Structure 1
Amino acid sequence: MADIDALILMLTKRNSRRKPARIQTKKRFRLHQNVQQLPEELLIERCRFDRDTINYLSDLLSDKLVNPYAHNHPLSVEAKICAALAYYTSNSFQTAVGNFVGVSQSTISHAVTHVTDALVELGEQFIKFPPAESHAQEKQQFSDVAGFPDVLGGVGCTHIAIRAPPGDPHTFLNHKSFHSLKVQITADVNSAITSVVARFPGSSKDSFVWRKSPMATRCAAGYLGKGHLLGGPGYPLRPWLLTPVRRPACRAEERYNQALRKTLRQVAKTCRLLKKRFRCLDGARVLNCFPEKCGRIIIACCVLHNIAVARNVPLPPEEGATQGSNREEEEDGEEEGEEEEEDTESPQYQLGQQKRQAIIQQHFEKL
């Protein structure tokens, strides 16, 4: 009998130590911030876009971002766009961006992916070379910069820092000793991006990226007419792509080089503005994803940059102020030190040389 009493006492003590049964409650979701209630100053600071432009982006992307099968209080289109913009324009991790809109890091990651893909799909609508009917106006605007005739744009490369990719990281290691994608852009005089290539490793040469770009094919097919682009010493000389004289032998050739460099600074300025608006590209913190996705983020930022230029969206004062010297402006958009090894017997090179010499004689000898 005593054994039974001891057993009952032991079971009673064990049951008393058990945690009480959990009371089932209805799951509560964190409320997403209402973007329309955020102050204009905060939107500019965190997203680099004003409310009207965010509303414009919402209308533009709504069909691509609305998920009819979503449940459990999904992010609104406006919140997705603000989350992606805050990621593009911040050096913070995605967790910090998640705090801005009141959702988790995984939700932010999905929002960034969806908005990036939607913007890349619109790339051809917003990143395009000026049509033939506007070439005369483009030439005049570029001529006003430094007197260089018949210019329709400048071409240059910049490096966007990425994490070392698995498998073959050394090909992405550039001459500045960090892993990057080498991004080629062409830009007009108003700092709008007219073409972009963002898929080649950081070790690639300017000339290689150019030859593989769609713009090179279009130029060779005669799209520029009698106009031309300007490029740095790393680019091949062609009738449609004029480069500096390597060893100027007279004052006219020096003037030509000076005018070319001054005009080409528009590309460096465009790269600089792109990185100032979208801090994920400025190298302070690398893009922490695979190269293909990094390239898509870069293109998405280029689309947004052109939207900002077209809508005259200013940078915040501390970001938009011009700082530094011309040397700082030239760090992007023009590869330093490595010249293109030309096949001087190539018919295209010889035609380019003839055109360059004619421009020097007609426009720079009598100055």
Structure 2
Amino acid sequence: MADIDAVILMLSRRNGRRKPARIQTKKRFRLHQNVQQLPDELLIERCRFDRETINYLRGLLSDKLINPYAHNHPLSVEAKICAALAYYTSNSFQTAVGNFVGVSQSTISHAVTHVTDALVELGDHFIKFPPPESHAEEKKRFSDIAGFPDVLGVVGCTHIAIRAPPGDPHTFLNHKSFHSLKVQITADVNSTITSVVARFPGSSKDCFVWRKSPMAARCAAGYLGTGHLLGGSGYPLRPWLLTPVHRPSSRAEELYNQALRKTLREVARTCRLLKKRFRCLDGARVLNCFPEKCGRIIIACCVLHNIAVARDVPLPPDDPNAQGLSRDEEEVEEDDGADEEEDTDSPQHQLGLQKRQAVIQQHFGKL
């Protein structure tokens, strides 16, 4: 009898140590922000776009952003777009952006990648040089600025601050002592970006970036016809790319330089507007990505910039707490001179000298 009591006591103690059965509960998901309920003022402040333009972007990007295999309450297309726009605006994955659309930091990161890739795919559609049939109109618009003839665009470089990349950081260190990508753009009178190159390290020369750009090949192939671009002193002189006279020796040459530099301000203004709209590019906080991804973000912002210009989307009021253009006050960089490898005796350089001299004599010699 004692043995039976001992067994019963042992079983009762074992049952007392067992964990209670788990009660299955339905998983709760974090509620996402309904973009359609946000006021336009907040969208302009946080995303730099109003609701109408965000709906336009949704129509453009829906096919690229919808994941048919997604599950567990995925982000809507609008929320993905707003998450990416909020990042471009603030350059932060942290709670300020996450709370805006109601998602975690990792979700914001994935949304930025997906939206960036989708915008880069549309780059050729929104970033393109004016077609030949509009060249006459473009020349007139540029001529109205300072009287410089036959201009079809202005070209310049600016620095976008990035984190020091592993492996070879010194090549990305520019002359202002911060790591950057050197970004070349061409722009028109309306501050529309007509070409962009965003893959070269900050230590690169203007002349080197130009020679490696698709725009240089198009110009050499005769795409500009009788027109030309204007560039700073760091660019090579070509029949299709006119640069300042290094040491002007006549009044006509001084007038030529004045008109060229005044017209060239359009590319600086374009860079300034691009960085003001998308604070991730202004240098107050570096792009914390590998250089290749930084380049894709820059191109995505250029696409969005052109959409904003075409749709006349206003910029938000100035933020008195924003540091603005602290890293790159002059906006467009100018090298002291052409790259050392540039051959001034080349036939193209000589033709550029002839073209520049003809412009000076015909258009500035009689003023």
Say whether the fold is shared (TM-score over 0.5).
yes
Alpha-carbon deviation of 1:251? 1.2
Q: Answer whether contact 2:93 2:108 (CA < 8 A) is retained.
A: no
How do 1:194-233 and structure 2 match up within 5 A? 194-233=194-233
Whole-Å Cα distance in 2 between the matches of residues 310 and 299 of structure 1? 17
Distance 1:317 1:110 in 2: 29
**In 1, distance between residues paired with 2:309 and 2:105?**
30
Aligned to 1:242: 242
Contact 2:91–2:287 (Cα < 8 Å) also in 1 = no
Aligned to 1:142: 142
**How many angstroms does 1:334 deviate by?**
3.4
Q: Give the distance between the partners of 1:136 and 1:80, measured in 2 at CA.
A: 41
Q: Moved runs in structure 1, 4+ residues, more than 2 A?
A: 11-16, 18-24, 91-96, 336-344
Residue equivalent to 1:332? 331
Query: Which digits, 9 at most, give the CA deviation of each residue in 1:273-318, with x for residues without a partner?
Result: 1011001111111111111111100000000000000000010122
Find the counterpart in structure 2 of residue 67 from structure 1: 67
CA apart distance, 1:246: 0.3
Matches within 5 A, 1:1-367: 22-318=22-318, 331-341=330-340, 342-367=342-367
Within 1, Cα distance between the matches of 2:292 and 2:355?
38
After superposition, the Cα gap between the structure-2 partners of 1:194 and 1:330, relative to the gap in structure 1 and judged at 3 Å, is farther
1:24 Cα shift? 2.4
Would you say the 8 A contact 2:43–2:50 is kept in 1?
yes
Contact 1:229 1:240 in 2 (8 A): yes
Return the offset for 1:339: 4.0
1:284 maps to amino acid = A
Contact 1:91 1:284 in 2 (8 A): no
Q: CA deviation at 1:8?
A: 6.1
AA of the residue aligned to 2:277? R
Q: Return the letter of the residue paired with 2:296.
A: R
Q: Give distance in 1, aligned partners of 2:248 and 2:345.
A: 20
Q: Over aligned residue pairs, what C-alpha RMSD do you find?
A: 2.5
Task: Write out per-residue CA displacement over residues 308-341 of structure 1, whole angstroms, 9 at most, x where no aligned residue.
Answer: 0000001012269xx99xxx99812232434444
| Greater shift in the superposed pair: 48-57 or 31-40 | 31-40
Change (3 A) 1:111 1:93: closer
- Cα distance in 2 for residues equivalent to 1:139 and 1:127: 19
Any idea what SS the aligned residue of 1:157 has?
strand
Q: Which moved more, 1:218-227 or 1:338-347?
A: 338-347
Matched residue count = 361
Instruction: For residue 30 of structure 1, report the CA deviation from its aligned partner.
Output: 1.3
Query: Matches of 1:223 and 1:94 in 2, distance apart?
Result: 46
Following the alignment from structure 1 to structure 2, what is the Cα–Cα distance between the partners of residues 168 and 307? 35
Give 5+ residue unaligned stretches, structure 1: none
Distance 1:8 1:288 in 2: 64
Tell me if the contact between 1:146 and 1:259 (Cα under 8 Å) persists in the aligned partners.
Answer: yes
Counterparts of 1:74 and 1:134, CA distance in 2: 45
Q: Deviations over 1:19-45 (max 9, x none)?
A: 765432110111211110011111000
Partner SS for 1:89: helix
Which residue type is aligned with residue 256 of structure 1?
Y
Which segment drifts farther, 338-347 or 23-32? 338-347
One-letter identity of the residue aligned with 2:330: E
| In 1, Cα distance between equivalents of 2:54 and 2:213 | 32
Letter in 2 for 1:116: T
Distance 2:124 2:152 in 1: 19
Partner Cα distance (2:134, 2:271) in 1: 23
Shift of 1:98: 1.4
Deviations 1:56-80 (A, max 9, x none): 0000111111111111111111110
**SS of equivalent to 2:318:** helix
Q: List per-residue Cα deviations over 1:133-166 (Å, max 9, x = no partner).
A: 0000000000001110000000000111111111
The alignment-based identity, stated in percent, is 85
Q: CA deviation at 1:124?
A: 0.3
Does the C-alpha gap of structure 1 residues 319 and 188 become closer, same or farther in structure 2, counting only changes over 3 Å? farther
Q: After superposition, give the CA deviation of every residue in 1:186-225 in whole Å (9 maximum; x if it has no partner).
A: 0001000000000011111000000000000000000000
TM-score (norm 1): 0.92
In the aligned structure 1, how far is the partner of 2:302 from the partner of 2:237? 27
Q: Using the alignment, how far apart are the partners of 2:29 and 2:263 within structure 1?
A: 54
- Quote how far apart the aligned CAs of 1:366 are: 1.8
d(CA) in 2 for partners of 1:45 and 1:330? 23
